Amino acid sequence: MKVIKPSVEIMDVFDGQDVIRKLELCGRVCYKSEHKMKDTSPYKFIQNIINRGHESVLEHFSFSVKFICDRGISHEIVRHRIASYSQESTRYCNYSKGQFNGEITVIEPCFLVPGTKGYDAWYKACLVAEQMYFKMLDCGCSPQEARAVLPNSLKTELVMTANIREWRHFLKLRTSPAAHPQMREVAGLLLKELRVKIPVVFDDIVMILEAWFDG
């Protein structure tokens, strides 16, 4: 059994400056103010539409993210409806095969500390689940039948494609203090990357987070 930490990958290659220029151009069509566009104007324009709640303009750009997380967290991610998804299938993946090195992979819970009784109990439970999964396969069960014993911590890969408005909604919900710790961990990784990759668009969410946790 392999234990890993969660991760995120922005699958599209794009220039953040080009993204905000496109968003500004789309938004200025509403006012026929394209002539006001300058090198620095996208920053102020995007800030204004976000402050005013006119976020439909942000729907004009979409991108895909691959999450590597556990099955439990993936169920929370796919609740976001204005998005498209592709996910690793436990019906068709046979973890006894070579591409999986004959083992299952699980995501280490961020709320358990290695060496503690809680962590040891979790680890042993996952080991037993792996053993029973392979035993069911040996007994002639199909992968979709044997998956019944796989743990919630099982690693899954999930691709989510959404527009920027929906990504903002996703990050507001999934980075809040009310979110599950593992969901917040994954969303935080994505927010950190996006804030660097696309200027302005996610800055207010970071400020809200800082206020929450500083308070």
Residue 21 known to be catalytic: no
Query: How many whole angstroms separate alpha carbon 173 and alpha carbon 188?
Result: 11
Phi/psi at 151 (nearest 5 deg)?
Answer: -80, 160
Tokens standing for residue 214? 């500083």
Q: Specify burial of residue 172 (Cβ count, 10 A radius: 0-12, 13-18, 19+).
A: middle
For the beta carbon of residue 109, count every other beta carbon within 10 angstroms: 19
All residues at 6 or more sequence positions from 104 whose CB lies less than 8 Å from its CB, including other chains: 1, 2, 95, 126, 129, 130, 133, 150, 154, 155
Active-site hit among 165, 168, 174, 184: 174
Residue type for 184, please? R
> Hey, which residues are catalytic here?
174
